[in-house]
Amino acid sequence: MRVGRIASLIATLALAGCSPGLPMRLAEFGSEAMTEVPLALAKPSPSRPALPRQDLFGRFGSVSLHLGARRLDDPAWSPVDQPTVFGIESEFRLADSPLGVELGGSVSYDTGTTGSQVDVRSLLYEIYFGPRVTVSWPDSPVDLYVGGGLSIVGAERVTEFLSMKIDDVDRSAAAYVHGGTQIWVNDSFAVGLDARLVSGTDVDLLGVQNLDYVQVTLTLGFGF
C-alpha cells in the first residue's frame, strides 16, 4: 500500500507541478508515513537471554554439574594419578551484581595396576566454599567467572596384592582457585568449561604426601 501511495505522489509531483493542493497531499502522505515507519523499524534485536531471578529476594543463582578429569600432583599416586571427577556447585549473587559466593563438592575415582602387579584404587572427595566474581554483558549469553576459597579434601588409597589388602585414609585443608565460562542457551540452561587448581594439602597416605591437583571439567548449568 505504501508503494502505491509513493507512486501516486510521484505522479502528482510530475503532473501537477506546484499545484495549490500539493502541500495538503504532502501533509497527508507524511502523517501516514510517520505512523508506518516506526512500526516497520521496530524489529526485535538479538540480546542476552533474561537472567532467571528470585523476585522475592532479588537474587540470582545457578547449580552446575561438573564432569571431567584431574591430574594429581604427587607422583606417588601413580598409576591412579588421573582420576575421573564428578562434581556439583551452587552459586548465589545479588541481582545485577558481579559479586557472589559459591559452595560445591566433588568425588573422583581411579583404578590401576603397578608394574609389580599390585592393584591400586583411589577415591578423593572434596567440599569447598568461597567468594566468586561473575562478569556478563547485556547483549551476550556468555558469562566469565573466577572464584576461590577454602577446600577440605579427603582421600582413600587401597592396595591389593594376592590375598593382602592395605588401605588408608586422610584429609587436609587447602586453598583452591578456579575460573571458566558459561554460555546460556536460554534463561535456565547453560553449558561451559571450568579449570581448577587445589594446593596446600598435607597428608600421610601410604607414601602419598599431598592431595594437590589440577582439573578441567565440562559443566551443565541450571539457573534459578
- Asked if 211 and 76 touch (Cβ cutoff 8 Å), the reply is no
Compute the mean pLDDT over every residue in the chain, rounded to the nearest whole number. Answer: 81
Whole-model pTM: value is 0.73
Instruction: State CA 31 to chain mean position distance.
Output: 50
How many other C-beta atoms can be found within 10 angstroms of the C-beta atom of residue 137?
11
Q: Does the structure show a pLDDT above 80 at 72? A: yes
Domains located in the chain, CATH noted: 2-41 (no CATH), 59-223 (2.40.160.20)
The 10s digit of each residue's pLDDT in 143-179 is: 999 999 999 999 999 999 888 899 999 999 999 999 9
Q: Does the structure show a pLDDT above 70 at 192? A: yes
Q: What whole-number distance in Å separates Cα of residue 87 and Cα of residue 12?
A: 74
Task: Give the residue-averaged pLDDT of 112-140.
Answer: 91
Q: Say what the pLDDT of residue 136 is.
A: 84
Query: Which residue has 597416605 as its cell numbers?
Result: 205
Q: b vs e for 74-109, b when ≥16 Cβ sit within 10 Å of the residue's Cβ?
A: beebeebbbbebebebebbbeeeeeebebebbbebe
Confidence of residue 81 (pLDDT cuts 50, 70, 90): very high
> What share of the chain in percent tops pLDDT 70?
74
Residue type, 125: Y
Q: What whole-number distance in Å separates Cα of residue 126 and Cα of residue 24?
A: 80
Residue, of 116 and 39, whose pLDDT is higher: 116
Q: Say what the pLDDT of residue 56 is.
A: 38
| Torsion, Cα of 194, 198, 203, 206 (10° steps) | 40
